[in-house]
Amino acid sequence: MKYMLMFYDNPANNIPPQDETERNAWFGRWMAYNTAIGESGVVVIGHALQPPHTATTVRMRGDQRQVQDGPFADTKEMLGGFYVIDVPDLDEALAWAARSPAALKGGVEVRPLMDSPPEPS
């Protein structure tokens, strides 16, 4: 079953610390997680995202397109990246989510992907 792991955190926690020791630890936690999940063979795709200020949100209201700079929701947490993983069940998806550095101070949303409809013949 495929699940999306979405990594949320306070923007301040998603910026590498200025202190070299803290910065090395921050990168080290993410590199260890990325290596472990990558080597496990469960990853379908994954990417880190650019900061929220680079986002553009589009809404259609009738025939009018509304474009807004920034993310859709004004929240205290930001979506920093994601993985789509293919694992046997929710328990394994939750185990991978719990290992993420984002789970330490932020949160990891785990959501099953919908099955794709069959392609037309």
* Residue 99 confidence (pLDDT): 95
Residue 118 lies in a domain: no
Residue 96 lies in a domain: yes
* Residue 87 confidence (pLDDT): 97
CATH of the domain at 84: 3.30.70.1060
Written as tens digits, the pLDDT of the chain (121 aa) is 999 999 988 766 666 677 888 889 888 999 999 999 999 999 999 998 888 888 888 889 999 998 888 766 666 778 889 999 999 999 999 999 999 998 988 899 999 999 877 777 7
Residue 54 lies in a domain: yes
Taking Cα atoms as reference points, which of 28, 26, 47, 25 lies closest to residue 36?
A: 28
**Structural domain range at position 61:** 2-112
Asked whether 117 and 14 are in contact (CB, 8 A), the reply is: no
pTM: 0.82
Residue 117 lies in a domain: no
The count of domains in the chain is: 1
Residues 6+ apart with CB under 8 A from 27: 16
* Residue 39 confidence (pLDDT): 97
Residue 120 lies in a domain: no
Residue 107 lies in a domain: yes
